[in-house]
């Protein structure tokens, strides 16, 4: 069907376009008085359907909460963002019914987030769970806390001074909880902090409290990583250890899949992800009937978008010679490994105390360097494109050492060669490898 159009007629204003004609009341005239049939454009149809959804949501949700049905304007986002600052005492969804604490795992205690005293008005007296109560409960069990690792992505739950004034170290590792797993740098930081804390204990035994919002997914993800790097067990065994200590364990499939992918293990068919606990299930549904994600799944004060799941796991990316391999490590850990390299090679720190790359450097075979062959023996090789690395092998992973003496961790293990089956699972620990040419 081809509609006729009068080319001499003036264009009609858009639906939301202001008209500056003197008779403004004519814009509100009924559509049935028009002589030409109006055909809705795609833009008008989308605008009308969006308005219908807004009206339906307003009838179903009188409190006019922001939803994911449509993206609000920038001004509305600013108002919502400012409004959240006045709702800082809102309890995390499911927090009241979530079990407070789990069993001890290698001196680590998984827990939901303790809430500061300014939340007391929102919590019945018998269900409060603050830092003071955590310390008291652990003392009753004969445990003394020495370190608290906070994995939430916000600082609104309690002031860190609540722990510090009790002589307990507080470490903040911000991890988003919605649609993403903790990145590799955060995992390295967590494993290093726990390892250093436990290794420094001499007389009294102290424990580590690890918490995210509910103490399951992010907390379990970090603890499983620690178990994998310190014990000779599989991912399946490590996940079960955490699930037994903190039922039902990690219940997000993305977290479990990420653990198997990271350690290059195939997920057994018998491994089934636990269902979402009843206390965590949301009763708020969107237009499609799906559960609306809780804001506190991300713990983000500004409500910004979450990072993609595989941001630090580029599986299909094409590598080039300029790519940087591995993940960065904590500064203190890097300094400790630098000291080990100098001690293993029986080298002294420079006069200024600056540690320089201790490995051999390639020398170009040009006219000026030919005289070096008369002074000492050299190995001559072809020019191999790539980045010059040394490798430090430890039981918790391998570390590539570049010519700037920076360390970056890669997930590799080198089992020890042994004919004894009991020792077959042992790996090399603090073994330094070097090559004479570019790798």
Residues placed in the known binding site for GTP: 388, 403
Taking the C-alpha atoms of residue 150 and residue 366, their distance in angstroms, rounded to an integer, is 56
Structure tokens at 53: 């959804």
Q: State CA 13 to chain mean position distance.
A: 49
Distances (CA, A) of 228 to 108, 174, 251, 254: 14, 22, 19, 18
Distances (CA, A) of 82 to 66, 159, 183, 302, 430: 13, 21, 29, 9, 52
Q: Which residues are catalytic?
A: 212, 383
Structure tokens at 216: 């399951």
Q: Is the Cα dihedral 331, 335, 336, 341 positive or negative?
A: positive
Binding-site members are: 388, 403
Structure tokens at 437: 């040419």
Distances (CA, A) of 92 to 113, 157, 213, 257: 9, 9, 7, 26
Q: Residue 401 phi/psi, 5° resolution?
A: -115, 115
Taking the C-alpha atoms of residue 5 and residue 330, their distance in angstroms, rounded to an integer, is 70
Least Cα distance to 133 among 108, 107, 115 occurs for 115
38-53 burial, b at 16+ Cβ within 10 Å, e below that, comes to eeeeeeeeeeeeeeee
DSSP, residue by residue, 371-424: THHHHS---------S---EEEEETTEEEEE-TT--EEEE----BPP-S-GGGT
Residue 347 DSSP SS3: coil
Structure tokens at 381: 């090789």
Is residue 201 within 8 A of residue 232, CB to CB? The reply is no
């Amino acid at each position: 069907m081809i509609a006729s159009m009068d080319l001499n007629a003036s264009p009609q204003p858009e639906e939301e376009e202001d008209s500056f004609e003197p008779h403004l009341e004519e814009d509100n005239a009924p559509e049935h008085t028009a002589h030409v049939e109006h055909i809705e454009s795609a833009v008008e149809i989308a605008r009308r359907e969006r308005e219908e959804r807004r009206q339906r949501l307003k009838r179903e949700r009188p409190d006019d909460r922001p939803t994911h049905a449509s993206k609000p304007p920038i001004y509305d986002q600013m108002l919502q963002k400012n409004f959240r600052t006045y709702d800082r005492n809102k309890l995390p969804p499911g927090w009241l019914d979530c079990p407070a604490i789990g069993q001890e795992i290698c001196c680590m205690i998984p827990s939901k987030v303790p809430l500061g005293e300014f939340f007391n008005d929102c919590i019945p007296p018998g269900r409060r769970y603050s830092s003071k109560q955590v310390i008291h409960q652990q003392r009753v069990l004969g445990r003394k806390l020495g370190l608290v690792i906070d994995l939430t992505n916000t600082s609104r739950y309690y002031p860190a001074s609540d722990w510090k004034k009790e002589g307990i170290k507080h470490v903040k590792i911000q991890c988003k909880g919605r649609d993403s797993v903790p990145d590799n740098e955060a995992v390295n930081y967590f494993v290093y902090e726990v390892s250093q804390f436990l290794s420094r204990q001499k007389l009294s035994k102290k424990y580590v409290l690890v918490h995210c919002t509910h103490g399951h997914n992010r907390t379990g993800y970090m603890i499983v990583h620690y178990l994998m790097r310190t014990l000779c067990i599989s991912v399946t065994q490590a996940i079960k250890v955490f699930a037994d200590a903190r039922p039902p364990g990690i219940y997000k499939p993305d977290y479990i899949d990420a653990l198997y992918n990271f350690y290059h293990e195939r997920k057994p068919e018998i491994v089934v992800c636990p269902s979402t606990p009843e206390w965590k299930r949301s009763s708020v549904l969107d237009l499609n009937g799906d559960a609306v994600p809780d804001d506190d799944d991300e713990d983000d004060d500004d409500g910004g978008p979450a990072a993609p799941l595989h941001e630090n796991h580029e599986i299909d990316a094409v590598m080039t010679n300029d790519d940087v391999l591995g993940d960065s490590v904590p500064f203190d850990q890097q300094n400790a490994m630098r000291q080990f390299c100098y001690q293993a090679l029986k080298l002294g720190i420079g006069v200024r105390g600056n540690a320089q790359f201790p490995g051999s450097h390639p020398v170009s075979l040009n006219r000026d360097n030919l005289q070096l062959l008369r002074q000492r023996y050299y190995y001559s090789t072809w020019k191999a494109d790539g980045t010059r690395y040394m490798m430090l092998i430890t039981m918790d992973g391998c570390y590539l050492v570049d010519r700037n003496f920076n360390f970056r961790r890669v997930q590799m293990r080198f089992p020890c060669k042994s004919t004894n089956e009991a020792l077959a699972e042992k790996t090399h620990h603090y073994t330094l490898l070097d090559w004479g040419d570019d790798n």
